[in-house]
Structure 1
Amino acid sequence: MPESRKNPGFKIVPAFLLLLLMATGVYAQTPYGNNKAAGRYQATRGIRLYYESYGKGEPLLLLHINGGSINVFSGQIPFFAKNYRVIAVDSRAHGKTTDPADSLTFEMMADDVNALLDSLHIKSCPVIGWSDGGITGLVLAMRHPEKVKKLVVSGPNLWPDTTALIPFVYDYLQRTADSLAKLPPTAANKNQLKVIRLDLLEPHLTLQQLEAIKCPTLVIGGDHDGIPVTHLVDIYRHIPQAYLWIVPSASHFIATTKKDQFNARVAEFLREPYKNIEGMNVLQ
């Protein structure tokens, strides 16, 4: 029997096992995601989008994993806030951003972010997206290319099947959705089911669409990621100005389990101009 049926207070965790975040110390005693001093709401597109700002300088946007919230970037916010104005967002239907609607798509979430940037008078900024946040980042760069100065995507996928998600993850999502569908239709249960179904039914992007992304992009994945390495390689190959970083001995949770490596590599990418390595340069 699923744990949720034995204990009504238990919440089924979404796509990528948020319990691992607890094990890696992300849910330490920090104010991230629940900081009244840093938090704001922006009324836009039928919702109140919650975000928090830290630091000063060039804006840097953080977009979190499925089922997560601003708090999953506890290992990144203080690091990047030393040099950037970090803007971390609770995506639609996540964290403090409630969403009563039945539907949820990555296009909706990308347009939410675009509206937030407009409201903050930010014409363009670097974007870091993890998992679903990475998908939202890709969609944002395609739908609103002027907004994305540089893009970092860790563990995104382009379509919802076992070629873009490893079979274990896809089956886990399906089992979780089936279990949630049997629970009483409370607002919380309906929201969790909507979030799970997002990764079961979305996105529907093509490799050819990625060719429209003009900003420099860093594609990140673990060699034991929930997204097949071959899929990440395909994403990298179809973005004109892209780098690929496959991290050894790493899962989908590079931002937490390999925090220092992740932060240093992303900071270098954001700091340095993109270099097109070709011709004789590949031998140097």
Structure 2
Amino acid sequence: MGEYLTVNGLRTYYEVAGEGDPVVLLHGGGTTADSWYGQLPALAERYRVYAPERRGHGRTHDLPGPVSSELLAEDLAALLTELGTGPVHLVGWSAGGTVALRLALRRPELVRKLVLISSGVSRDGGTAADLELVSEANTAMLESMFRPQYEPLSPDGPEHFPVVFAKWLAMWRTEPDIGFEDLPGLTAPVLVMQGDDDGVRIEHSAAIARALPDAQLAVLPGTSHVAPLEKPELVSRLLLDFFGEERATRFMPLGALGG
């Protein structure tokens, strides 16, 4: 079910379903809450699931000025505070992962557990193909990819697409820029997940997991940057397992991440 809530002048659209502890799903850049169709119903069987659309995405309008993951994290913090969710299980996919990590670092009291899907902490964590994807040479291709998703839903009208697209490009070409320095201070449990043919280098995801005090690493076989669409049931199972209160006993830990 879709609902709206206006906080700090931003009328935000979000999908909500289920009952229980809160789970928040953050979509990737240029997409919408609809991209979670493979996970939202499964998670809603056990949790109260929210899938908000960030400013300038989907059914949430744009506001003047540039965008950054830090600004979007502030938007999210305001939304969760207004909703009164308390600490949430927070899942961020791609650019949504950057927003999720920003929030976890700046407002740790709002995040119970964190999942980063196909999301790094620095530009050099991306593969060569990932870096090329957002280059000037591929601008027209990206425009043709995201315009059809934007125009039918945006409350700002289809003519506003060039404005938000320029903002996205500026952000994608400079972020993520969080780095590793602050990761040891993030005490919430974190699941770092990516495809084995993703835009994030596997070693970069492993380095993120090593830098965190309480992290797990999942590399999904036969998937790319859109694993939640390619293997939705597997992603849902991993999320449900991670959110569960009980952890499997590690019978023979041999330090793979550390070594």
So what's the TM-score if we normalise by structure 2? 0.86
In the alignment, does 2:97 pair up with 1:152?
A: no
2:6 is aligned with what amino acid? A
In the alignment, does 2:88 pair up with 1:117?
A: no
Give the superposition deviation at 1:109.
Answer: 1.0
2:83 is aligned with what amino acid? L
- Among 112, 123, 126, the alignment partner of 1:165 is 126
1:259 is aligned with what amino acid? P
- Give, in whole Å, the separation in 2 of the partners of 1:267 and 1:221: 16
Which residue is 1:282 aligned to?
253
- Give, in whole Å, the separation in 1 of the partners of 2:142 and 2:196: 31
- Give, in whole Å, the separation in 1 of the partners of 2:132 and 2:179: 23
Cα deviation code 1:220-267 (max 9, x no counterpart): 011111111111111111111000011122211111111111111110
The unaligned stretches of length 5 or more in structure 1 are: 1-37
- Give, in whole Å, the separation in 1 of the partners of 2:246 and 2:103: 21
In the alignment, does 2:228 pair up with 1:255?
A: yes
For this pair of structures, how many residues does the alignment match? 240
Q: Relative to 1, partners in 2 of residues 1:235 and 1:274: Cα closer, same or farther, differing over 3 Å?
A: farther
Q: Relative to 1, partners in 2 of residues 1:79 and 1:105: Cα closer, same or farther, differing over 3 Å?
A: same
| Structure 1 stretches of at least 4 aligned residues deviating more than 2 Å after TM superposition | 175-181, 272-277
Which residue is 1:100 aligned to?
63
Percent of aligned positions with the same letter in both sequences?
Answer: 31
**3-state DSSP of counterpart to 2:5:** strand
Cα deviation code 1:52-73 (max 9, x no counterpart): 2111111110100111110000
**3-state DSSP of counterpart to 2:191:** strand
Which residue is 1:207 aligned to?
180
Which residue is 1:50 aligned to?
13
1:168 is aligned with what amino acid? A
Which residue is 2:22 aligned to?
59
- Give, in whole Å, the separation in 2 of the partners of 1:219 and 1:112: 23
Cα deviation code 1:142-171 (max 9, x no counterpart): 0100000011111112123xx222222222
Which residue is 1:233 aligned to?
206
1:224 is aligned with what amino acid? D
Cα deviation code 1:71-118 (max 9, x no counterpart): 000001111111111100101221111213231111111111111111
* Contact 2:7 2:82 (C-alpha < 8 Å) held by counterparts: no
**3-state DSSP of counterpart to 1:207:** coil
* Contact 1:241 1:276 (C-alpha < 8 Å) held by counterparts: no
- Give, in whole Å, the separation in 2 of the partners of 1:127 and 1:55: 16
Q: Relative to 1, partners in 2 of residues 1:201 and 1:117: Cα closer, same or farther, differing over 3 Å?
A: same
The unaligned stretches of length 5 or more in structure 2 are: 144-158, 255-259
CA RMSD of aligned residues (A): 2.3
- Give, in whole Å, the separation in 2 of the partners of 1:232 and 1:167: 15
Q: Which moved more, 1:70-79 or 1:39-48?
A: 39-48
Give the superposition deviation at 1:196.
Answer: 2.4
Which residue is 1:127 aligned to?
90
- Among 161, 164, 175, the alignment partner of 1:188 is 161
- Give, in whole Å, the separation in 2 of the partners of 1:180 and 1:112: 25
* Contact 1:177 1:197 (C-alpha < 8 Å) held by counterparts: no
**3-state DSSP of counterpart to 1:211:** helix
- Give, in whole Å, the separation in 1 of the partners of 2:139 and 2:232: 30
* Contact 2:55 2:63 (C-alpha < 8 Å) held by counterparts: no
- Give, in whole Å, the separation in 2 of the partners of 1:276 and 1:198: 41
So what's the TM-score if we normalise by structure 1? 0.79
- Among 170, 194, 202, the alignment partner of 1:221 is 194
1:172 is aligned with what amino acid? L
